[in-house]
Structure 1
Amino acid sequence: MVKVVSEKQDPDAVAKAWLADQGLDATGSSASGVKLTVGSANFPENVLLAQIYAEALKAQGADIKLKLNIGSREKYVPALKDGSVDLMPEYNGSILQYLDAKATATEPQDVFDALQKALPSNLIVLDQAEAQDSDAIVVTKETAEKYGLKSIADLAKKK
């Protein structure tokens, strides 16, 4: 993300480089003849993930069309439902809350299972990634030492 957001590098180039670093850029034929439209929401992290998926699928022979920066869930969920977009990177918890405001699952597997039930019948969730998206606060080592910060909770301490 740093390369895309901070260094303003092209998401497609970053995606290709990442796939090459992971050994996932080898051309194959497992997706030969498959035509897919890969979409993204309108924020850099999602665009980069969409580019990674698109490049990986291209490397396997798929014919990929991109629809990047579609917008919020209110815009791209209908596109998924009507088939004008075939694949979108998404956060399990966020899309579950969008589809089922009463959902209470919080553990990754429970969220994944609840999402399977909440999706419209014409959509599926692919296997979930092992990574998690979590909020964080980042400070320099100097600032952490100056204020004795080791966790977010330390920010609440009165000095």
Structure 2
Amino acid sequence: MTTEISDREIIEALQGGLPLVSAPFAEIAGRLDMPEADLVARIDAMKQSGVIRRIAAAPNHYKLGMTSNGMTVWNVADDQIAKLGAKIGALPFVTHCYERPRALPDWPYNLFAMVHGSSPAEVEEKREQIKALLGEACTSSDILYSTRILKKTGLRLRKKG
């Protein structure tokens, strides 16, 4: 008789990252002693219900040669932020893009986009591309350069017991 695997056990098995093999979900399923199709269905159900948002790679940009990293911040017209934010987020060099409320009067920015490059000049070139795309809908911007990596992992659950 097979013991039912809990969602928590599945998350614990996934949180360390997927194995670098041709069939990573099959390997995880094997560790959990469950069919791969069942594992994939359970992951999909957790995504649909909001228990987990996504499974994604978290590369170390520094090890990939992307040693200049800047969070570009933009003051974008509220009535255009959804449309323009989607365009910025779709750019191949933007890894994170999201809307945040302004903190007036000190912080007028409401659109954030993380850009990586091999040099500050490359990051600035990419910033200029974003600026051109935003056009007149953007009235001001800035960039905050990373000085070190503070976190490169998602949520980590403590093992029970």
TM-score (norm 2): 0.21
**Which protein has greater RCO, CA pairs closer than 8 Å, 6+ apart?**
2
Larger radius of gyration: 2
* The structure with more helix, counted as a fraction of residues: 1
TM-score (norm 1): 0.22
